[in-house]
Amino acid sequence: MSNQNNKIIIISISLLFLVVILSALFVCSSSGCQIGVKQPGNNAPRNMQMDKPMGMPAGKEMDKPKGIILVNGEGMASDKPNIVSIRVDIRAESESAEEATRVVAGDFDRLVKSLGRKNIGKNDIVSNNFDLGPVYYYPREGPPVISGYRATHSVTITKQANPDDIGKEAGEIIDVITDTGINDISLVQFLLDEKTANELKKLALENAVENAKDKAGTLAKASDVELGGVVAVSESAQFSIAEPRYAMMERADVMMSTELVAGNYDVTASVQVKFRII
């Protein structure tokens, strides 16, 4: 009997202990507590500071981004041109292709000799194009027929000139060309040498950046914020080179020389700059 009583006592104690554990688990699950689980490095309740980012000390607010100011800047630089560039088309028509070519070659030789007297050498005369083709006659009836041949030799003449006298220099070169019997001048330009043109491009970029800084300062002041340093800068447009216009070429008579009017050689640049707001 004693053994049977001991078994009953042990079973009763086990059942009582099981009831206590189940009751405790039920209460904890209802209240949100945890039994026997320790969160490493964090003793705070689970429902505290849920609006704070991980790693942020308690009581310290997260820094707000200040933003940027984005502006476009424009700049220009100018100088007087110092190079004359003239394009000439030497043309001839004849019944045969050989004769048309011979006439054009002869006119070109005379042009080179005449320009030599103006200290313009062969190195300053560059051939751009040579074209030889048939000339057609279109009768009222029947297919077109070849009536002759046309040859065209296009050349460009360049010369370094004093910027103050470049218009007069261009006019004198034109007079030499027309005196040889060539009257087809298709283009006259006033240019800058490469070194000076590159310096103008750099200056135009510098002016564009300064213009962007002025704009950004105005925007920052109007927005009641403090302007910081440059975050990024880039060219937002290609260089735009405004070549000078030239005056109408006129000759009242053979005693009056042609003179052109040269304007400034302008280079414009555009940049895009990002500034930090601090």
The 10s digit of each residue's pLDDT in 18-40 is: 666 766 665 556 555 555 444 44
Whether residue 239 sits in one domain with residue 171: no
Nearest to 259 by CA among 268, 250, 269: 250
Give the domain-ending residue among 63, 95, 116: 63
Taking only the tens place, the pLDDT of each residue in 179-226 is 999 989 989 999 999 999 999 999 999 999 999 999 999 999 999 999
Model confidence at 254: pLDDT above 50: no
Alpha helices for 32-151 (secondary structure H): 97-116
In angstroms, what is the C-alpha Rg of the chain?
45
Residue tagged 């933003």 (tokens): 67
Whether residue 2 sits in one domain with residue 90: no
Q: What's the pLDDT at 46?
A: 41
Whether residue 165 sits in one domain with residue 29: no
Structural domain boundaries, residue 104: 83-191
- Classify each residue of 32-70 as buried b or exposed e, where b means 16 or more C-beta atoms within 10 Å of its C-beta: eeeeeeeeeeeeeeeeeeeeeeeeeeeeeeeeeeeeebe
78-89: average pLDDT: 94
Give the domain-ending residue among 164, 191, 218: 191
Tell me if 116 sits within 8 A of 174, measured CB to CB.
no
pTM exceeds 0.85: no
Nearest to 182 by CA among 174, 191, 194, 190: 174
Whether residue 202 sits in one domain with residue 271: yes
Q: Give the chain's domain count.
A: 3
Give the domain-ending residue among 136, 160, 191: 191
Q: What's the pLDDT at 39?
A: 47
Tokens of 3: 């053994």
101-118: average pLDDT: 95
Beta bridge partners, 76, equal 268
Backbone angles phi, psi at 61, to 5 degrees: -80, 150
Tokens of 67: 């933003």
Tokens of 167: 């218009």
Whether residue 230 sits in one domain with residue 171: no
Taking only the tens place, the pLDDT of each residue in 126-174 is 999 999 999 999 999 889 999 999 999 999 999 999 999 998 999 999 9
Taking only the tens place, the pLDDT of each residue in 40-74 is 444 444 443 434 444 445 444 444 447 999 999 99
- Binned at pLDDT 50, 70 and 90, residue 4 comes out as low
Tell me if 180 sits within 8 A of 125, measured CB to CB.
no
Tokens of 261: 């009017």
Burial (0-12, 13-18, 19+ Cβ within 10 Å), 204: buried
Alpha carbon dihedral 253, 80, 120, 182, in 10-degree steps, equals -40
**Helix H or strand E encompassing 212:** helix 194-223
Distance CA 154, CA 130 (A): 6
Whether residue 218 sits in one domain with residue 156: no
List CB contacts of 35: < 8 A, sequence separation 6 or more.
24, 25, 28
Beta bridge partners, 134, equal 149
